[in-house]
Amino acid sequence: MNESAIEIKNLTYKFNSSDSYALEDICVEIRKSTISGIVGPDSAGKTTLLRCITGLLTPQKGNIRTFNLNPTKQQEEINKILGYMPQKFGLYEDLSVEENLNLYFQLKEIPESNKNEIFEKLYHFTNLEQFKKRAAGKLSGGMKQKLGLACALLGKPDLLVLDEPSVGVDPISRKELMKMVKELSSCDTTTIWSTTYMDEAQSFDFCIVLNKGKIIYKGKPFNLGKNTKEFENKIIKIMGGYKEKESFLAKDFTLKKTDIECPVRAIGLEKKYGDFYAVKNNTFCIKKGEIFGLLGPNGAGKSTSFKMMCGLTTPSAGSAKIMNIDIVKNPSKARSYIGYMAQKFSLYGSLDVLGNLNFFASIYGLEGKEKETEIKKVAEVFELEPFLKQDAKELSLGFKQRLALACAIMHKPPVLFLDEPTSGVDPIARKEFWSHIKGLAKKGVTTMVTTHFMDEAEYCDRISLFFKGEAIATGTPDELQKKAHTKNMEEAFSVLIERSQTK
């Protein structure tokens, strides 16, 4: 058995602004040279725990020994052995990739002699060599995370702490991140990685499952489940379980009758930046009540397509029609049919929950009695009632997501556009979310969604797979799997992309 890297005894932490404990009576021991996962829903205390371990927060009660040091009192010594990557890594967005690496290289006081060798290796693993001179702010989400991780890995830290490094990153880049950690950290490195992705957590040596500030499981992930699905189901079970139930939201949802067969249509959509095609000749038709998924790695053109469909970007050629109305020619009318939910929380944080509901109801033309009943209904369905007077920015991520969906569907839109709606959300909240979407689809709501989660792709009726600006395959999840001769979406995704690359 390895000796222990981190020992935590009876750790309790409470934020001044909150009544409940962020962490309560945590006891755990993390062994040296292992990769440990911290898993749990949003606001379970994952970040707080990591910040206590690294000495950024001082707990009110309990003991922490990090590499036999007291994190609060011996922060300087800890910093010498620590590689820390917070949720948003402190990259300097105006500096180039190389300048960022250089900066962290110097900050960590690594001897200059090995510099070329180290940098070469990092460039090799991150595939960032060709983007050396590009400003960090102009990299895609996945590349930024890789660069952040590369900076954290500089100097081969004994302790590597990664706070949800893979949120909003496509599956291929996620795999690469994992590979980087496993291969680049020396075998003595102890890694702690917090995540909401079950497939990641399942692959670690050790995992700590947190819920509402308490540890509900610690041990080998393998003992919970031999594969991701099993693991996820087990986690959901110990977190209190999830029962598939009919969505209350969808129950009283009625749409105005239309004869339109394809509420959402793209006809030869194209977006060109100079000589570069971000999206090339994209044509599709989403049938009424269908859930249509746009999939692809970061920068493949799915976001651009999505934006053109919403009218956030004007296409260079082709057109997008919502309920047979061209979004460029008559944007206000076309948009009144859309319910939109962005990837990043995009409601007014400084308004309270009720203020947000009121505002979005009004701009979508609801008024008087109808507005009141609609607001009351969504507040009830999404269990937002206790928070009506709370500022939206103070909600937990899961509730923010609910509020965003509530604001998007109050006006009963026949079309729903969701841009990575569940990134960073825990599995239970995600299942709940999809039960609403499924229910709405049954009532005839047409949905277009972009996602990184392969299991989420399976909720879609049809999927369009993007790569290098083109839709390389379109079909039901089954069809795509058959085409790729694989048994799950994730593999199908990789196979189909590889195939199009060799073409």
Interface with other proteins (CB under 8 A):
310-314, 331-333, 335-336, 338, 340, 342, 344-352, 355, 358-360, 362-365, 367, 391, 417
| Nearest residue (CB) to other proteins, 283 versus 362 | 362
CA angle 406, 302, 306 (to 5 degrees): 45
Q: How far is the CB of 332 from other proteins (least distance, A)?
A: 5
- What the block records as the tokens of 493 is 């995704």
Q: Is 43 helix (H, G, I), strand (E, B) or coil?
A: coil
| Nearest residue (CB) to other proteins, 59 versus 301 | 301
Where would I find the H helices in 311-350? 331-335
Q: Pairing state of beta strands 214-219 and 61-66?
A: unpaired
| Nearest residue (CB) to other proteins, 355 versus 444 | 355
d(CA 270, CA 57): 49
d(CA 489, CA 496): 10
DSSP 2: P
Q: How far is the CB of 340 from other proteins (least distance, A)?
A: 4
Nearest Cα residue to 500 out of 301, 290, 305? 301
d(CA 348, CA 250): 25
Q: How far is the CB of 442 from other proteins (least distance, A)?
A: 24
Q: How far is the CB of 349 from other proteins (least distance, A)?
A: 6
| Nearest residue (CB) to other proteins, 81 versus 312 | 312
Q: How far is the CB of 41 from other proteins (least distance, A)?
A: 22
Kindly report the backbone phi and psi dihedral angles of residue 368, in degrees, each rounded to the nearest multiple of 5, phi listed first. 55, -135
| Nearest residue (CB) to other proteins, 407 versus 465 | 407
Q: How far is the CB of 370 from other proteins (least distance, A)?
A: 13
397-409 and 427-442 helices cross at what angle (nearest 10)?
10
Contact 453, 425 (CB under 8 A): no
| Nearest residue (CB) to other proteins, 352 versus 461 | 352
- What the block records as the tokens of 422 is 């569940």
| Nearest residue (CB) to other proteins, 202 versus 343 | 343
Indicate the helix (H) or strand (E) that contains 216. strand 214-219
Nearest Cα residue to 221 out of 242, 249, 198, 247? 198
d(CA 47, CA 87): 9
Residue with tokens 């922060």: 75
Q: How far is the CB of 394 from other proteins (least distance, A)?
A: 12
| Nearest residue (CB) to other proteins, 62 versus 355 | 355
Q: How far is the CB of 483 from other proteins (least distance, A)?
A: 33
Q: How far is the CB of 99 from other proteins (least distance, A)?
A: 20
Q: How far is the CB of 34 from other proteins (least distance, A)?
A: 37
Phi-psi domain of 477 (left: phi exceeds 0; alpha: psi -120 through 50; beta: other): alpha
Q: How far is the CB of 88 from other proteins (least distance, A)?
A: 14
| Nearest residue (CB) to other proteins, 318 versus 331 | 331
Burial 6-42 (b: 16+ CB within 10 A, else e): bebeebbbbeeeeeebbbbebebebebbebbbbbbbb
d(CA 30, CA 206): 8
d(CA 380, CA 357): 13
| Nearest residue (CB) to other proteins, 197 versus 360 | 360
* Alpha-carbon separation of residue 31 from 2, 6, 188 (angstroms): 6, 7, 11
Q: How far is the CB of 291 from other proteins (least distance, A)?
A: 19
Contact 307, 278 (CB under 8 A): no
| Nearest residue (CB) to other proteins, 202 versus 450 | 450
| Nearest residue (CB) to other proteins, 145 versus 356 | 356
Kindly report the backbone phi and psi dihedral angles of residue 177, in degrees, each rounded to the nearest multiple of 5, phi listed first. -60, -45
